[in-house]
A and B are shown apart, each in its own frame.
Chain A
Amino acid sequence: MSDEKIEPPAEPRRSFLTSMSAIVLGAVASIVPVAAGVTVLLDPLRKKETASAQVFVTRLSAVPEDGSPKKFTVEMDRVDAWATYSNTPVGAVYLRRTESGDVAALNVVCPHAGCFVGLAEDKARFGCPCHNSSFDLDGVVNDPSSPSPRDMDSLAVDVRNGDEIWVAFQNFLPGRHDKTPV
């Protein structure tokens, strides 16, 4: 904490080389830990494309016959970072028998901001409890003021052996018009 005036060293031309070297060498040394850190930090971007996996959800008899939707938990194997979980709940779908006699599946996650879309008490529509997105039973946005940018995400259903319902379970990025897989 001295108040002596600090004089810059003489002969600035020679010291230019010194200062440049100091900066460059220091930067090169410092870049190593930063680069090493950033590389690991960016690791999640190096994701494998998550192919939608066909997963057995339930049997046909469990889906209400009156065409009202019912929530089913989706259980499948999941790798979460260092841990592998077998047959663990990873999400949920609404299954419903359509007028044409097929089974339709909708991912419960709201395409707006990722909340869990609920089924209205009269089971006649879906509504999101967060920002009031509203969908009809086919998952189609049914209210012009609904904040959801797209319909609920439908998932491919495959009925095997007559009554086994297999769903191509997948999550999609919220807040977008297009269905982009997560």
Chain B
Amino acid sequence: MENLLNWLDDRTGYRSLVKNALYERIPGGARWRYVWGSTLMFAMFVQFVTGLVLWAAYSANAQGAWESVHYIQNVMYGGWMLRGIHHYMAQVTIVLLVLHLMQVLIDGAYRAPREVNFWFGLGLLGLVLGLSLTGYLLPWDQKGYWATKVATSIASMTPVVGPAMQQLMVGGAEYGHHTLTRFFALHAGALPAGIVLLIVGHVYLFRRHGITVPKKAAEKPDGWFWPEQVLKDSVASLIVMATVLALVLWNGGAHLGAPADPTEPYAAARPEWYFMFLFQWLKYFPAGWEVVGAQIIPGIAVGMIAAMPIIGKWRLGHRFNLGVAASLLLGITMLTWTAYAADQADPAFVQARAQAESIAERVSELAGSPDGIPAAGGLAMLRGDPATQGPIIFEANCSICHQYNGHDGLGGTPDDEPSASDLGGYGSREWLTGLLDPDRINTPEYFGNTEHTNGRMARFVQRGIAGFDDDQRAALRNVILAVSAEAELPSQATADEADQDAIREGRIAISSEAIDCTRCHTYADVAEGDVAPVLTGWASRQWIMGMLRNPSHPLYYGDNNDRMPAFGDEGILSEAEIGLVADWLRGDWFVPDGN
């Protein structure tokens, strides 16, 4: 073994390299205050390792990015942990960088001869922020998509070259596949390469100039980098790692929103917390001053930091620099705090965030359904989900007249009293029981604010049913079960199965003398009256879709249609949208096991 190592040393000189690397003399001995640079090295190491493995599972295209990240997060063994570490270490890195920078400023370690190394450090800070910015987009979820749109918009404000810059970043006129390929090339290629180069330069210059020793430590005996300082560095790195693990576990891994959708509003669009001060800052610049707020003033601030080694040469220069740094830090903290306070105090934002969260959870459920994520991607999957799309379509198109369990579909309170029936639970026994209740049919819940309030149905319920004897009541009960069974609601499948006999009797009773629905309604092959909506397949998917296409169709209300538009025939809603509303009203959507 010894011979082998001697041979290797002879050919490579590795011993002197290791010796140079490890046996660095530390004036005044190893100290805890020297660990910050090493923790940053450790953070970079973690990001390289986790990033490389994430890369091995990530697909940089608009139809595969969200999908592949979802797969990493939810299917791959330990994927959520890996992504969580990468995500939270990125944030801890920012904190460590700021601490490191602050320490360098306070100790005056940026002054001659260390100017160049200070600039290397600033360059590293810039590259790390670049990594954060590009990394935020890569999952291609709503959050990253909208936040990054703001970032590229700001780039486009740059005088003269702005539009070209934006186009080069985005990889074309609009966000798409090439936006991801480019951001990924920056995130995983160009920026890390720059970081490696700058770290090499940074460490080389650091070794060249030696550590900045605080005055009180100067009299203490010297120590060595290995193993005394390395032990302290290792402990500090372990604490950093433990902090990140705690963050990952506490938050259940990194968040993944719903897939990016340029056509859906995302009122919860916010950058990462360390960019929130810039976000807030932009609010203060009225029209015409955007460039000043977004570029010129931040540019001046960065310029002042970069000029610190030069300013520091003058008498009082160091104090001036410290004053600048403290003001910046204070300003940034206040802006950040204001931004979060403003959001918390804004009910619209709180609601938007809750809605975004519930959609994100729903997407995850859908991805776990037996159908899984289709080749068309996660967004197409979400767009075909009645549970989330139904309420949106209902709110936009139906809630002007109808309510859904007293709200507008999305949980909001409508301005006006409903002018048509409440469709919550439509098709169910309960809904039908209410309609056939003499006390309820003419309330706003049913026909109250419609023309039907004076119609034959209302008259039948209020005069006929009100005077039913016990036998007729029993028959009516069976009719309700039978008509409701036509809907074949998923939520009622068990009950319909259990009440088979009653339903069979109810079917006969529909056209019996005692109840006689078929005087007006068509049912099965009995079509005597045919002036009211058909009861065959009532509230089934087909039935509701037909009603939405054209309520004035002879099968439905015919000439008795009140004010309901022909959503299909008039082209207000597409077939797909009509199907989504029908499925949603019927409660027919994928529900994961255990719910």
Contacts and interface: CB of A to CB of B under 8 A. Distances in A.
Interface stretch (A12-20, A97-105, A146-154): A146-154
A149 B178 contact: no
Given A91-B263, A115-B150, A145-B286, A44 B178 contact: yes
B149 A114 contact: yes
Interface in B548-595: 565, 570-573
A174 interface: yes
A6 interface: no
Contacts of B16: 1
Interface centre among A132, A164, A173 (most CB of B within 10 A): A173
Contact of A174 (B156, B283, B397): B156
Given A1-B13, A147-B283, A175 B153 contact: yes
A140 to B, nearest CB: 12
Contacts of A42: 168
B173 interface: yes
A125 interface: no
> Interface extent on B, as a size class?
35 or more
Interface in A125-176: 129-132, 141, 144-150, 163-164, 171, 173-176
Nearest to A123: B415
Contacts, number: 153
Contact of B571 (A62, A115, A171): A62
Given A58-B571, A81-B172, A171-B174, A146 B166 contact: no
Contacts of B267: 116, 118, 129
Interface string A20-63: 00000000000000000000011011010010000000110110
Contacts of B570: 59, 61-62, 163
A51 to B, nearest CB: 12
Given A113-B150, A114-B153, A147-B282, A175 B290 contact: yes
A74 B348 CA distance: 25
Contacts of B176: 80-81
B290 A80 contact: no
A171 B152 CA distance: 14
Contacts of B154: 113, 175
Interface string B149-174: 11011101100001110111011111
Interface string B264-276: 1111110000000
B348 A90 contact: no
B221 interface: no
B150 A50 contact: no
A83 B267 CA distance: 29
A83 B61 CA distance: 11
A114 B162 CA distance: 15
B287 A129 contact: no
B571 A45 contact: no
16 contacts: A1-B16, A42-B168, A45-B167, A47-B167, A58-B572, A80-B62, A80-B178, A81-B178, A81-B181, A92-B264, A129-B265, A129-B268, A129-B269, A129-B352, A147-B285, A174-B153
Query: What are the 5 A-B residue pairs with the smallest beta carbon separation, nearest first?
Result: A129-B267, A80-B176, A175-B157, A59-B571, A62-B572
Interface of A: 1, 41-42, 44-45, 47, 50, 58-59, 61-62, 64, 70-71, 73-74, 78, 80-83, 89-92, 108, 112-118, 121, 129-132, 141, 144-150, 163-164, 171, 173-177, 180, 182
